[in-house]
Amino acid sequence: MTTAMSGVIPVSKQTEYLSKYIEKLKGAVGEEEATNIINGSLVVVTSGSNDIMISYLSGGARRLQFPVIGGYHDFILKRVEAFVKELYNQGCRSMLIAGLPPFPESQSYNDKLVAMLTQLQASLPGSKLIYADFFTPLVNMVANPLEYGFMVTNVGCCGLCTQFTPVCPNPSQYMLWDGIHPTEAAYKVITQSLLDNSLPKFSQR
């Protein structure tokens, strides 16, 4: 539904493109080396944010299909699980799976995601499925903006991002770029949090 509304590449096409890439890789380096490259790659999976914001919280059709948001969370998580399994079947082993940023009820989704990844990893031999926490650093930035150098956390630097709403002169002092997406400065904070808290887990047994 979200892909149809926004015109982005659907999940099914993404796995299809990956399969085609793997075939090209085999032709370039041989099947064994291609397998090693895919097995050793880090795959980052982000999902759910637009589904929740566009298809549900903004009064989209999903709200009619799932009157209780928890039911929609479960629907998305099943899709995420199927996507991760498909990536695994294509040879991917190390995956960083992003949770939701601070939305209404998003912590409930994130808790379910963590539980699902734990169970799923146990069923996929050799896999390492790590939760990427976007929620906590964003909450911390809102609670302690000055600590991160932010002066504004409640509006975006570019407003509606049109010719009639010029970009702010100091984007590094804004947490949000367009009212929804973080600025480069905020993403640096999120990235550092992932480097400190998520990536080291790939080396743990």
Q: Are residues 97 and 188 in the same domain?
A: no
User: How many structural domains does the chain have?
Assistant: 2
Residues in the chain where the model's pLDDT stays below 70: 1-7
- Give every strand in the sheet of 42-45, ordered side by side: 42-45, 94-98, 128-132
What pLDDT, on a 0 to 100 scale, did the predictor assign at position 70?
93
Residue 190 and residue 63: Cα distance in Å, rounded?
A: 30
Q: Are residues 168 and 118 in the same domain?
A: no
Q: Are residues 35 and 118 in the same domain?
A: yes
Q: Are residues 74 and 94 in the same domain?
A: yes
- Mean pLDDT score of the chain: 91
What pLDDT, on a 0 to 100 scale, did the predictor assign at position 8?
76
Q: Are residues 60 and 118 in the same domain?
A: yes
Q: Are residues 128 and 142 in the same domain?
A: no
How do residues 92-111 score in pLDDT, each as one tens digit? 999 999 999 998 899 999 99
> Which residues form the domain of 30?
1-132
What pLDDT, on a 0 to 100 scale, did the predictor assign at position 196?
96
**Domain end (from 132, 155, 171):** 132
Contact present, 182 and 190 (Cβ < 8 Å):
yes
What pLDDT, on a 0 to 100 scale, did the predictor assign at position 5?
56
**Domain end (from 88, 114, 132):** 132
